[in-house]
Chain A
Amino acid sequence: DIQMTQSPSSLSASVGDRVTITCRASQGISNYLAWYQQKPGKVPKLLIYAASTLQSGVPSRFSGSGSGTDFTLTISSLQPEDVATYYCQKYNSAPAFGPGTKVDIK
């Protein structure tokens, strides 16, 4: 089975900072990679799919890149409402989520 890892597991940054989260697949998954945001006590929300396609309604400060085994989620200017845990997911064949990255405001 393909395993998904994320780094870091948590981070703390200031409002306005550029934030980068990395996701790695144990085998190549082409661009079958999505990113989700889960705020405390809330349902996960799809942010990005096909590695770099922004879901409708998602702010443009979110962006994704990568292909194969290495992927990145970038928040260009961190906002207070971005406090959440972010999960990557490979969705080809048997879907699998990464362990999550918790983002806080410093």
Chain B
Amino acid sequence: EVQLVESGGGLVQPGRSLRLSCAASGFTFDDYAMHWVRQAPGKGLEWVSGISWNSGSIGYADSVKGRFTISRDNAKNSLYLQMNSLRAEDTALYYCAKSHYYGSGSYPFDYWGQGTLVTVSS
């Protein structure tokens, strides 16, 4: 059974940093691209960042480019999101999501974690 478990969220002051983690199990992690998607309270879904199976291709939404860094450790079956210079508008539930197919190419997201809540407030 595919499981994605996010951690690392919490309350943080504006301008500070936070690192999110996503522990994956139930599939061959290093075969699949992975993504972070966020959802502000009462709002829609926003893609944040994605990383290919081998970390060779990485993308960011314009809203986080230059502030957030995605990475993965295939030996640990883990995905990360380093978030710096946090702003109030980064407050959201952050989901880790798995690409539907393995390898290169563009695919939808077939499994999602339960999310970890990040609140940016003084």
B-contact bits for A29-66, CB 8 A (1 contact / 0 none):
00010101010000111100100000100000000000
Q: Which one of B44, B59, B108, B113 lies within 8 Å of A43 (CB-CB)?
A: B113
Contact B46 A97 (CB under 8 A): yes
CA distance A44 to B59 in the complex (A): 21
Judged by DSSP, the binding face of B is strand
Q: Tell me whether A96 and B62 are in contact (CB under 8 A).
A: no
Contact A92 B44 (CB under 8 A): no
Contact present for B110 and A91 (CB under 8 Å):
no
User: How distant is the Cα of A93 from the Cα of B59 in the complex, in angstroms?
Assistant: 9
Interchain CB contact under 8 A, B62 and A1? yes
Known contacts A1-B62, A46-B100, A95-B50; A87/B108 CB under 8 A = no
- Residues from chain B with a CB closer than 8 A to the CB of A45 are 112
Chain B residues with CB under 8 A of A89: 45, 47, 108-109
Query: Contact between A87 and B47 (Cβ–Cβ < 8 Å)?
Result: no
Residue contact B62 to A95, C-beta cutoff 8 Å: no
Chain B residues with CB below 8 A from A85, complex form? 44
Give CA–CA (A36, B45) in the complex, Å: 10
Nearest A residue (CB) for B107: A91
- Residues of A with C-beta under 8 A to B115: 43
Point out the residues of chain B lying under 8 angstroms from A99, CB to CB.
Answer: 44
Considering only residues 1-57 of chain B, those with a C-beta below 8 Å from chain A are: 35, 37, 44-47, 50
* Complex interface: chain B residues within 8 A of A46 (CB): 100, 108-110
Give residues in B with beta carbon < 8 Å to A.
35, 37, 44-47, 50, 59, 61-62, 95, 100, 106-110, 112-115
